[in-house]
Structure 1
Amino acid sequence: MNDDITVADNAPQHRYDAHVGRVLAGFAVYRLSDDVITFVHTEVDPKFEGKGIGGAIARFALDDVRETGERRVVPSCPFIKAWIDKHPEYQSLTQP
């Protein structure tokens, strides 16, 4: 992962944002319910594609879910689902 990428939960907008410097490079939108977080869409600005932005968002978001331990993950977003499939250590977070 590129050290210039910072990811944070942008709770007011229900998404995890990735910045390169001060520029928004990508985000993953989510919906919350009592015990589930559903990732619905991930988008990376075309000028940042292929630079690890999507993976940085997925890893940070899923680590955040794991750390809080309050919710299960529903990966409705094809990117998040594929990322979890490639990283089996995160499959335990998904909704059975």
Structure 2
Amino acid sequence: MADLKVTRNDEAARYELRMSDETRTDTLAGFAAFEQGSGRVRFTSTEIDPAFRGQGLGETLASEALADVARRGDTIVPLCPFIASYLRENEVAGAIVEWPDGTPLDSATQGEPPA
């Protein structure tokens, strides 16, 4: 059974998903890159190592990273298609989302961004 842990690495400007088990110690399985400024966290890309794809790790990474941004009180700007898709399909408690077209959407209103 693998242990999963998502941590924020400010130096690398990304959230990292690491897994460890009896055969792999602290392996980087994926990351969500971001840019931060003016109270906004702009997610630019999400990558899962090909060796770990198909296990739902992208959803785990997105869930933990977005929850952390919401706890910090920053606004999420989903430039990454994976993060945008995750936000359209899942609620993130306390999240404030600013879609790239500039339309704000808080997590209480799920679904497609307003027209």
User: TM-score scaled to structure 2, two decimals?
Assistant: 0.75
Higher relative contact order (CA 8 A, sep 6+): 1
Unaligned runs of 5+ residues in structure 1 are none
Q: 1:73 Cα shift? A: 0.6
The code of the aligned residue for 1:93 comes to I
Which one has the largest radius of gyration? 2
The code of the aligned residue for 1:68 comes to R
Using the aligned pairs only, state the percent identity: 35
The code of the aligned residue for 1:37 comes to V
For 2:35, the equivalent position in structure 1 comes to 31
Q: 1:8 Cα shift? A: 0.3
Determine which structure has the larger helix proportion and give its number: 1
Unaligned runs of 5+ residues in structure 2 are 21-25, 99-103, 105-115
Q: 1:3 Cα shift? A: 5.9
The total of aligned residue pairs comes to 93
Q: Identify which of 61, 64, 68 aligns with 1:60.
A: 64
CA distance in 1, matches of 2:81, 2:29: 19
